[in-house]
Amino acid sequence: MLLLQKKGFPEEGEFVLCTVTQIYHNSVFALLDEYGKTGMIHISEISPGRIRNIRDYVTPNKKIICKVLNVDKEKGHIDLSLRRVNENQRKIKNNEIKQQQIAEKIIKYIAQQTNQDAKKLCNDIYERIKDKYTSIYSVFEESLINEDVLKELKLSEKDTKILAETIKQRIKLKEVEVKQDIILQSYAPNGVEIIKDILKKIQTTKVNVLYKGGGKYTLTITAHNYKDAEKELAQKTAFIVENMEKQKAHVELLKR
């Protein structure tokens, strides 16, 4: 069971993690793990086509990803769908849950080290970041780039230090790549050296240039997020264009 219990009701169209609790002839009841509320899946929302036996699709205590169809807050009713969740949506939600579980394991560890209630600490942290961040995990991940974001959690200096060290041990930043194909040609006697010199000035561990032949190169930028990668790519291509034009050489950015 997740530590974090969101308040209120889910939004219509939201994808939620559920645990099957009861199975009837024409319907299934499931607990929404993140909200602590029960929803119903009508047999028509289990799977496309005719269903002979619901238990061929769900079993008691099975974890499933559902889409919220309707919410009646006055009656406390939540209608769910299993069949309206495609493979990609299921994958995305499962990844979110996996990240939440990683974040909660970190919180449990911090709670043990500081003699606090893990569930309360988790919910307190969520309430402090929910308006700005999509999840606790996203805050932890961003802190690997900018540790100051942990100040928004309003923990003690000691707890913040322990948290920062634990995050570094348990979360590894994923990297993304952006690429730009570019044609570079110079007809000067030392044209090859001119191009090599320009490209040498931009290459780092995060910037790679691959020669593809015929004057065509692929510039690859690696970063922790697409925003930074795109910014770096724009700067590097601008540098190449400016310096190639100074040498009266041909430069052309190609669409991928």
How confident is the model at residue 148, as a pLDDT?
A: 93
Containing H/E element for 178? strand 176-185
For tokens 């690859």, the residue is: 220
- Total number of residues shown for the chain: 256
Q: Which domains, ranges and CATH numbers included, belong to the chain? A: 15-84 (2.40.50.140), 88-170 (1.10.150.190), 176-254 (3.30.70.1130)
Residue 23 in contact with residue 54, Cβ under 8 Å? yes
Q: What is the pLDDT of residues 108-138, one digit of tens each?
A: 999 999 999 999 999 999 999 999 998 999 9
CA torsion through residues 15, 18, 23, 24, sign: negative
For tokens 């052309």, the residue is: 252
Residue 244 in contact with residue 198, Cβ under 8 Å? yes
Our measurement of the distance from residue 103's CA atom to the centroid of its chain's CA atoms, rounded to an integer in Å, reads: 13
4-18, 190-204, 216-230: least confidently modelled range: 216-230
Which three-class secondary structure state does DSSP give residue 35?
coil
Q: What is the pLDDT of residues 23-48, one digit of tens each?
A: 999 999 999 999 999 999 999 999 99
Catalogue the E-assigned strands of 4-119. Answer: 15-23, 27-32, 37-42, 63-72, 77-81
- Which residues, 6+ apart, have CB-to-CB distance to 100 below 8 Å? 2, 4, 135, 136, 137
Which three-class secondary structure state does DSSP give residue 160?
helix
pLDDT greater than 70 at residue 1 = no
